[in-house]
């Protein structure tokens, strides 16, 4: 597979794709090694993870450089590698505290029976990840799954695959880990082969692919943990601090060029502050600098060509239906890279794609509302339910509004806090995902099946008890 460089537009990297047979073989190898891995104590697995932490640290610079080519972002590449070290440390500390199968106890319903409880990890977990945060989303589920005693087959996105070369070196340096963690290279076909061979799937990606994977997992009767797209709304109440709201909303909409699942993508502002809000955020949006010189600037190019087309289509659709562009508004080719400056749109409504379909780009479409009921109705008028924001100086009022939004995490007086807060459990609503949370303690506990050993301590019941004539 030829891979496009998002800064130059050149196809300057070749991805050697794993065939379905190679994927099957890798799963077979992991299965053999996983048996011993599962028998290790949690402390032994933590000590292997610590070895990986030190080899990862050794290759951190190389991995960050490759990621920076994959994504055309230097600073965020460093944040991603640093984030992985943080995750390794956090799970090394937390997983042994959480691994706590209950001690043997008598049953309350059958008092002569003792209950022994075992936690059995899924054998091989398949992790399939997207291109927007290629390293972080490849490892966010992988690390706790490994600590739970699962083997992991990891298939990152074919759009941003260079970082795998560095990551693989860090894994190879720890043979015990390399036996239970293997990488797969390729696109949909390789992903399908992963789904066809593993015992559970952790998938992060789009809703359409998530539905296909969910159906394939249902067919195989294996669990699918699906973390999918979003169309996050922000509600800005009349009493909101406008500096706070405009800073947070701008950062959340255009940070990482809007290519984050938890980006704010539609803004509802109270009519009494709407015009001032629009004026301030437009000024701030115009001040955002592009990293056309890779050594400076705040916002990079769009990573994925097809996404750039979709963003332009949404802008065109909105303008055709009457939207006003106050800044930005065009995907431009600069030296081969595809760039879109922060784009503020007003006079938008829910008949426009930009207010209902995921954008995954730096657009800020703003509507004004007159009542809280109206704002909530619009916020909930979506197939998505990933996350959302509420802005108000009144904490209780903000919580009251947040409680009525159909989404898994609500940031109050900020945007996209789920990219910083990893220890708050949350479930996606509607089509944004399904099954156990990757955040919080569930991020580790969901990898175990609970097995009951039921030990009879008295003589077993006999057939004499079923005699009808004694009834």
- Is residue 398 near ligand NAD by the rule CB under 6 A? no
Site string for ligand NAD, 340-359 (x = CB under 6 A): ------------------x-
- Choose between 20 and 187: whose C-beta lies nearer to ligand NAD: 187
Would you say 179 or 311 has its CB closer to ligand NAD? 311
The yes or no reply on residue 157 touching ligand NAD (CB under 6 A) is: yes
Q: What is the nearest approach in angstroms of ligand NAD to the Cβ of residue 261?
A: 3
| Active-site pick, 261, 265, 340, 431 | 261
Q: For ligand NAD, which stretch binds (CB under 6 A), given 152-160, 329-337, 369-377, 406-414?
A: 152-160
Q: Does 405 bind ligand NAD (CB under 6 A)?
A: no
Select from 323, 321, 356, 110 the least CA-distant residue to 229.
356
Taking the complex as a whole, the smallest distance from the CB of residue 201 to ligand NAD amounts, in Å, to 9
**Of 71, 197, 209, 392, which lies in the binding site for ligand NAD, with binding defined by CB under 6 A?**
209
- Examine residue 188 and tell whether it contacts ligand NAD (CB under 6 A): yes
Bridge partners of 180, per DSSP, are: none
3 state DSSP class of 124: strand
Per DSSP, helices labelled H in 72-117 are: 74-98
CB of 208 to ligand NAD, least distance (A): 7
Closest CA to 318 of 341, 340, 346: 346
Six token digits for residue 429: 């609503």
Say whether residue 158 binds ligand NAD (CB under 6 A).
yes
Judged by phi (left if over 0) then psi (alpha if -120 to 50, else beta), residue 258 lies in left
The Cα 14–Cα 75 span in angstroms is 25
**Given the rule CB under 6 A, which of 77-85, 165-173, 198-206, 320-328 is the region that contacts ligand NAD?**
198-206
Q: What distances in angstroms separate CA 464 from CA 111, 459, 461, 470, one per listed residue?
A: 20, 13, 8, 9
Q: Considering only the stretches 227-235, 246-254, 317-325, 373-381, report the one whose residues sit in contact with ligand NAD under the rule CB under 6 A.
A: 227-235
Shorter beta-carbon distance to ligand NAD: residue 140 or 237: 140
Residue tagged 């937390």 (tokens) = 94
Using a 10 angstrom Cβ sphere, with 0-12 exposed, 13-18 middle and 19 or more buried, the burial of residue 406 is: middle
Distances (CA, A) of 117 to 100, 443, 452, 454: 10, 20, 5, 9
Structure tokens at 434: 């399904």
Pairing verdict, β 363-369 and 2-4: unpaired
Instruction: Say if residues 144 and 95 touch (Cβ distance below 8 Å).
Output: yes
Residue range at the interface with ligand NAD (CB under 6 A); choices 150-158, 274-282, 295-303, 326-334: 150-158
Q: Tokens at residue 19, please?
A: 């065939």
Residue in 204, 257, 346, 416 binding ligand NAD, rule: CB under 6 A: 204
Gap between the Cα atoms of 297 and 265, Å rounded: 22
Task: Please give the distance of CA 159 from its chain centroid, rounded to a whole number.
Answer: 16
Shortest approach of ligand NAD to residue 421 CB, angstroms?
13
* CA-based nearest residue to 225, from 130, 127, 153: 127
Q: Is 130 in the site for ligand NAD (CB under 6 A)?
A: yes
> Rule CB under 6 A: which of 433-462 touch ligand NAD?
433
Tokens of 223: 């669990």
Is 257 near ligand NAD (CB under 6 A)? no
Residue placing its CB nearer to ligand NAD in the complex, 90 or 173: 90
| Catalytic pick among 227, 265, 358, 431 | 227
Does 382 bind ligand NAD (CB under 6 A)? Our answer is no
| C-beta of residue 422 within 8 angstroms of C-beta of residue 411 | no
Instruction: Judge whether 227 counts as a catalytic residue.
Output: yes
Q: Give the residue numbers marked as catalytic.
A: 227, 261
Binding site for ligand NAD (CB under 6 A): 128-132, 137, 155, 157-158, 187-188, 191-192, 195, 204-206, 209, 212-213, 227-230, 261, 358, 360, 386, 433
């Amino acid at each position: 597979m030829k891979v496009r460089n998002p800064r130059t537009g050149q196809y300057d990297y070749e991805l050697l794709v794993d065939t379905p047979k190679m994927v099957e073989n890798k799963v077979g190898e992991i299965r053999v090694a996983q048996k011993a891995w599962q028998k290790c104590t949690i402390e032994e697995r933590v000590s292997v993870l610590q070895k990986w932490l030190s080899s990862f640290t050794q290759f951190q610079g190389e991995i960050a450089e490759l990621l920076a080519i994959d994504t055309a972002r230097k600073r965020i590449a460093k944040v991603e590698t640093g984030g992985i070290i943080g995750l390794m440390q956090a799970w090394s500390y937390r997983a042994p505290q959480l691994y706590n199968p209950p001690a043997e106890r008598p049953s309350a319903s059958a008092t002569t029976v003792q209950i022994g409880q075992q936690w059995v990890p899924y054998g091989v977990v398949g992790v399939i990840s997207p291109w927007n945060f290629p390293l972080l989303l490849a490892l966010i589920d992988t690390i706790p799954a490994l600590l739970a005693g699962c083997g992991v087959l990891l298939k990152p996105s074919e759009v941003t695959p260079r970082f795998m070369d560095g990551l693989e070196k860090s894994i190879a340096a720890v043979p015990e880990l390399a036996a239970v963690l293997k990488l797969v290279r390729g696109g949909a076909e390789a992903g399908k082969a992963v789904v066809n061979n593993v015992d559970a799937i952790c998938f992060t990606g789009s809703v359409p692919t998530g539905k296909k994977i969910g159906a394939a997992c249902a067919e195989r009767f294996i669990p699918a943990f699906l973390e999918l797209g979003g169309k996050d709304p922000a509600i800005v109440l009349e009493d909101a601090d406008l500096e706070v709201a405009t800073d947070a909303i701008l950062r959340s909409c255009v940070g990482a060029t809007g290519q984050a699942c938890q980006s704010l993508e539609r803004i509802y502002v109270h009519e009494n502050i709407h015009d001032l809000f629009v004026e301030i955020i437009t000024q701030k949006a115009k001040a955002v600098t592009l990293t056309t010189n890779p050594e400076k600037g705040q916002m990079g190019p769009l990573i994925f060509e097809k996404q750039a087309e979709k963003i332009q289509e949404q802008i065109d659709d909105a303008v055709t239906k009457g939207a006003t562009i106050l800044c930005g508004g065009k995907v431009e080719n600069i030296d081969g890279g595809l760039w879109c400056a922060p784009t503020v749109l007003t006079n938008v409504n829910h008949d426009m794609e930009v207010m209902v379909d995921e954008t995954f780009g730096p657009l800020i479409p703003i509507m004004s509302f007159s009542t809280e009921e109206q704002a909530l109705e619009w916020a909930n008028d979506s197939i998505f339910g990933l996350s959302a924001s509420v802005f108000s100086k009144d904490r209780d009022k903000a919580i009251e509004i947040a409680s009525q939004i159909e989404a898994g995490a609500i940031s109050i007086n900020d945007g996209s806090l789920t990219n910083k807060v990893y220890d708050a459990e949350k479930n996606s609503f509607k089509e944004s995902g399904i099954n156990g949370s990757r955040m919080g303690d569930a991020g580790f506990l969901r990898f175990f099946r609970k097995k009951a050993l039921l030990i009879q301590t008295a003589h077993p019941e006999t057939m004499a008890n079923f005699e009808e004539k004694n009834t």
